[in-house]
Amino acid sequence: MTATDALVRPIAVSICDADVLYLRGQLPRRDPFCFGHEFVAEVVSLGEDVAGFAPGDRVVVAFLIACGSCSPCRRGFPAACATVDAKAAYGFGIFGDWGGALCDLIRVPFAGYMMAHLPSGVSPSAAASVGDNLSDAFRCVAEGLEEEPGASVLVVAGGGRAPSISLYAAALALALGSEQVDYLDSDPERLLIAESLGARPILAARAPDRQGSHYITADTSGDPSGAWLATALRSTARYGRCTSCGIYHGSAPLPLGAMYAQGVRFTVGWANVQTHMPKVLNLLQAAPELLNPIHTIAPWSDAIDALATPPSKLILARPEAL
Residues that bind Zn ion (CB under 5 A): 16, 18, 66-67, 70, 73, 81, 83, 132
For Zn ion, the closer of residues 18 and 280 by Cβ is: 18
Q: Which is nearer to Zn ion, 27 or 290 (CB)?
A: 27
CB of 100 to Zn ion, least distance (A): 11
Output 201 or 222, the one with its CB closest to Zn ion: 222
Q: Which is nearer to Zn ion, 34 or 254 (CB)?
A: 34
For the CB of residue 272, give the shortest distance to Zn ion in the complex, in Å.
Answer: 11
Nearest-approach distance from CB 66 to Zn ion, in angstroms: 5
Q: Which lies closer to Zn ion via its Cβ, residue 132 or residue 219?
A: 132
Q: How far is the CB of 136 from Zn ion (least distance, A)?
A: 8
Kindly report each contact of residues 43-48 with a partner whose C-beta sits within 8 Å and lies 24 or more positions away, as own/partner. Answer: 43/6, 43/7, 43/8, 43/115, 44/6, 44/7, 44/8, 44/9, 44/105, 45/1, 45/6, 45/7, 46/5, 46/6, 46/7, 46/111, 47/1, 47/2, 47/3, 47/4, 47/5, 47/6, 47/111, 48/3
Tell me the closest approach of the beta carbon of residue 89 to Zn ion, in angstroms: 8
* Alpha-helix runs per DSSP H in the chain: 17-23, 71-74, 111-114, 124-127, 133-147, 163-175, 188-197, 227-234, 256-262, 273-286, 303-308
Nearest-10 crossing angle of helices 188-197, 163-175: 20
